[in-house]
Amino acid sequence: EAGVAQSPRYKIIEKRQSVAFWCNPISGHATLYWYQQILGQGPKLLIQFQNNGVVDDSQLPKDRFSAERLKGVDSTLKIQPAKLEDSAVYLCASSPGLGPEQFFGPGTRLTVL
């Protein structure tokens, strides 16, 4: 069974630029999560989708971050414009439903200069 795929693995941009990350969850997984992991910290949930609907985006900075999950499969997370403090690893995870197990992708490391 293929795992959660993310791209790109690394991205370096300058502040005020835009960036987008892509996630392909495990086939059949209804729930998809985006986390932000700042160096030295645990992951923080940004947004959670159930199929193609948002169930929690309370910690998503909506003035600059947006995410979508068209057709309930792949998802993209966008930052526009980026700030220095957005430098982090962005992790995507998926789970079959509402149960406890989440499966994580390798993450995208974003550096904002």
Partner 1 sequence: GEDVEQSLFLSVREGDSSVINCTYTDSSSTYLYWYKQEPGAGLQLLTYIFSNMDMKQDQRLTVLLNKKDKHLSLRIADTQTGDSAIYFCAESTTGGYQKVTFGTGTKLQVIP
Residues forming contacts to partner 1 in the complex (CB under 8 A) are 4, 31, 40-45, 48, 50, 55-56, 91, 93, 95, 98-107
Which position has the token pair 């645990």?
42
Q: How far is the CB of 16 from partner 1 (least distance, A)?
A: 28
* Smaller CB separation from partner 1, 63 or 101: 101
Q: How far is the CB of 101 from partner 1 (least distance, A)?
A: 6
For residue 66, give the amino acid letter: S
User: What is the b/e burial string over 23-39, where b = at least 16 CB atoms within 10 angstroms of the residue's CB?
Assistant: bbbbeebebbbbbbeee
* Smaller CB separation from partner 1, 9 or 15: 9
Count of helices and strands (H, E) across the chain: 0, 11
Pairing assessment for the beta strands 53-56 and 44-50 based on DSSP bridges: antiparallel
* Smaller CB separation from partner 1, 69 or 105: 105
Q: How far is the CB of 105 from partner 1 (least distance, A)?
A: 5
